[in-house]
Amino acid sequence: MFCPYCRDEVQTNAVIKAKQIFANTPADQLAFLTLLLPVTYLPERDAKELIDDRRSKNRDMFNYHNFTDVKLFGTFEIDVKTGKMP
């Protein structure tokens, strides 16, 4: 969980890392991908389990379509809404 300031820092670092990873990739071979998942309310599951599950499904999807030359890098962002305010 990040406050808005820490989120900005995490995102900035992710952009820096992505630029390093894809520094030698031509721009016409780059694409920005956003995966939107259904709204989920699973209080018994923590975010790590949710992210690990999504990672596994992404890997399976790429393997299924035989996308062997695809490199995926990104961050997970989960918005949380609650009726309980601190």
Which stretches of the chain bind Zn ion, using CB under 5 A? Answer: 3, 5-6
Please state the closest distance from residue 1 (CB atom) to Zn ion, in A: 9
Nearer to Zn ion by Cβ, of 38 and 86: the residue is 86
Nearer to Zn ion by Cβ, of 6 and 35: the residue is 6
Please state the closest distance from residue 2 (CB atom) to Zn ion, in A: 6
Nearer to Zn ion by Cβ, of 1 and 23: the residue is 1
Please state the closest distance from residue 8 (CB atom) to Zn ion, in A: 9
HEC readout, the chain: CCCHHHHHHHHHHHHHHHHHHCCCCCHHHCCCCCCCCCCCCCCCCCHHHHHHHHHHHHHHHHHHCCCCCCCCCCCCCCCCCCCCCC
Q: Is the dihedral of CA 35, 85, 9, 59 positive or negative?
A: negative
